[in-house]
Structure 1
Amino acid sequence: MILCQLFCKLFLCQGILLIGEFEEYPEENQMHCTTRLVDMLNSYASDLQNCAESDATKDFLMEEIKVLEEAKFIGLPNFMPRTAFLTLLQRKVRGISHMPINFVDTVWDYLQNVVTSVLNRHSANYYQLHVSIRRAAEHLIAKKRKNCIQHVLQAVEMEELTDYTCNPEYLQEYNKSMSHQEAFLKEVLNVNRLKSTVELEGYCMIEVTHLKNYPQVLTQAYDLKARLIAYWRIVLRRLIDVAALHLMLSINELVVVLRGFLSLEESPSISAKREQLSRSVKILRESKETVANIMDRIGAVFVSLVVASAIKV
């Protein structure tokens, strides 16, 4: 009966974690799991999109110029060295590599609190069972946390090693940026320009005074920047999607394993002990009835003797 009750509560836990049910916790916002997960995912996405590595206007083109200066090779001048792109990409990826891990840790800390709260609420009166279930839940959550961290680490490593996407938005964004190249660079190199900033569509005003000393490499640097901006958006989306999808898979697996833990069949030794205990209880009940019958008979005999003695007197 106890296992059945807890089994039902794990269905409640599944509803909280995966479906968003919170009828049992209407006033406890922390138990509204799917909403809190969305909040954490949105915060993670915002952190990625607003971090220093995603700021495309700071020291505009200077990082690209420095890398291009060190990536020179003997060859045709209008070829973009791939090492320059990969070097800048890897710097960016390493700069945000801690953020997916922090997100995973935050989510699993929260999930552990939710699962523990549900189990505590419905098994606290059954100490031995409560201890076993809680220990199993903590072990499973630790295992799932580790798997999630390994998964996002692999995702980060893949982004460092290879620059690839089949998303057509990459070329669309790149071509859009390149369509402004000529006008932007012309204004940057304009000796009669009075302001230290130049407007670039999509980025408002950009400080460009530092660029006047690099006229020979500006065209290539702008091209490299356009590629990075377009591709970086793809990278961030992948890191967000990968973390979210794997997280939901892990939560589902967690619920399935917890449910299976309570639905396991008894081992032969436990089953034998339970049968022996059941027989003992049955014998005790039968003995109780037998003793009660004997006591009734003794009582009847005693009453008869008392009555007989009274008559003789």
Structure 2
Amino acid sequence: MVGIPVLADRLTQIQASIIAKCLPDIVKKIDDKLNRSMSELNSMPQNLSTIADALKALIRIVKLVRESLEKLLIRGEFEEFPGDNSLHATARIAEMLYKYYAQLPETCPTLEKQFLMEEVCVLQESKEIRLPNFLPRSAFLTLLKNKVNTISHMPCEVVDTVWAYIEKIAIQMMLKHCENYPQLKSASQRVIHGLIDKMRDRSNKFVKDMIGMELVSDYTSSPDYMNSWVELMKEERQFMQAIEDHSKPTEISLKSFGKVEIGHLRSYVDVVEQAFDMRMRLTAYWKTIVLRLVDGVALHIKHAIKCLVEDELEDELINELVGPKMAGIERMLEESPATATKRDRLNKSVQLLRQSKDVVANIMDRIVADGDK
């Protein structure tokens, strides 16, 4: 008959064997949780203790923001955000410019209900005592100004749209890189907003100057203007014959205008030839105006973005975030309550898990030692 001590010893061995089988899983779970806690703790921002440390951290953040914006706004590299098309900035800005170009009238805009009446009315009001075969330049400039004014708001609208988008991207990158320093978020957003406002004002001044130059004079060195005008004027003879010969139909077909009604123009024989010439000049010159407004805005935006990212943003952020007497840097030394609480919780968790791991290791050692007896 087996005695009670023997049974107790046997039960202890069985219990130890069962526990020994469970302990590796327990150790694995402790290790996994310890690794997660350590990883989370290591990913937290460095606990800044000196102004030098804070300044280094700030400069690093600013450089990271600049690098991200260079990739997105200048080089068109999107590997950081492959699935977020809203951050593919060069493509989105190009789309804005294509849309702007598409909205500009391809042909010279007019509000007239009857063909050439806009030119006829201006020419009649430009009459003076002079030789009859001169096209009054004042009449041409009057019409040109009217037509340019109809689109003068478009360049301002596109630069406003572009800068609003750039501001959104810049703030998003700033918040991404300073997420570990929430005390910087408000000030950095304010800096970026102010800088973008300044860039937007510059762009608006630039495009207003562009429009102003188009209103001041008519000029181009491009041979395309003369080539286009000569080509358009080839139909002048057909047009004048239809005007002068009342037996001909009152509707004719012109390549650049399609079918047009000209019966009403037979009452203005004294100015209709000049009106036709003026319309052809405006039509040929309009292509030059549109090209300048599109290319000028596009090149300006490219240059302005380069200046923003490579020159102005870094200086503005450092100057404003450092602040007078290093006040901004001192704010970085003040860890937010949420971050401090999280750091303390993780440190305690790591300490407790390490202690637990040691306890389990001791138990396993004792079980092994008892089994060897």
Deviates more, 1:132-141 or 1:259-268: 259-268
Matching of residues 57-68 of structure 1 within 5 Å: 59-68=114-123
Correspondence 1:228 to 2:282: yes
Percent identical pairs in the alignment equals 36
Match of 1:27 in 2: 83
Query: Is 2:227 aligned against 1:172?
Result: yes
What is the rounded CA distance, in whole Å, between the counterparts of 2:86 and 2:324 in structure 1?
A: 42
Q: 2:62 and 2:162 mapped to 1: Cα distance?
A: 24
Structural RMSD (CA): 2.5
Greater gyration radius:
2
The aligned counterpart of 1:95 is: 150
2:104 counterpart residue number: 48
Contact 1:57–1:206, Cα closer than 8 Å, also in 2: no
Which amino acid in 2 is paired with 1:224? M
- Do 2:243 and 2:266's aligned partners in 1 also have CA atoms closer than 8 Å? yes
Deviation, structure 1 residue 234: 0.8
2:208 — aligned with what?
153
Equivalent AA in structure 1 for residue 64 of structure 2: C
Give the aligned partner of residue 115 of structure 1.
170
Superposed, 1:69-218 pairs within 5 Å as 69-194=124-249, 196-218=250-272
* Partner-residue secondary structure (3-state), 2:148: helix
The one of the two structures with greater contact order (alpha-carbon pairs below 8 A, sep at least 6) is: 2
Q: CA deviation at 1:134?
A: 1.8
Task: Look up the equivalent residue of 1:38 and give its one-letter code.
Answer: A
Q: Which residue of 1 aligns with 2:8?
A: none
* Distance of aligned partners of 1:210 and 1:268 in 2 relative to their CA distance in 1, 3 Å threshold: closer
1:50/1:179 Cα in 2 relative to 1: closer, same or farther (>3 Å)?
closer
Equivalent AA in structure 2 for residue 65 of structure 1: V
Q: 2: CA distance between counterparts of 1:191 and 1:161?
A: 40
Kindly provide the amino acid, as one letter, of the partner of residue 282 in structure 2. Answer: L
Cα distance in 1, alignment partners of residues 274 and 199 from structure 2: 45
Matched, 1:243 2:243: no
Q: Which whole-Å CA distance do the structure 1 matches of 2:113 and 2:97 have between them?
A: 26
Alpha-carbon contact 2:159-2:200 (below 8 Å) kept? yes
Q: How far apart are residue 218 of structure 1 and its match?
A: 1.4
Question: Which residue identity does 1:171 align to in structure 2?
Answer: M
TM-score for both structures, normalised by structure 1: 0.79
8 Å Cα contact 1:56/1:229 also seen in 2: no
Contact 1:48/1:54 (8 A) holds in 2: no
- Which of 58, 61, 70 is the aligned partner of 1:14? 70
Write the letter of the residue equivalent to 2:276: Y
- Out of 141-150 and 233-242, give the one that drifted further: 233-242
User: Structure 2 length normalisation: TM-score?
Assistant: 0.67
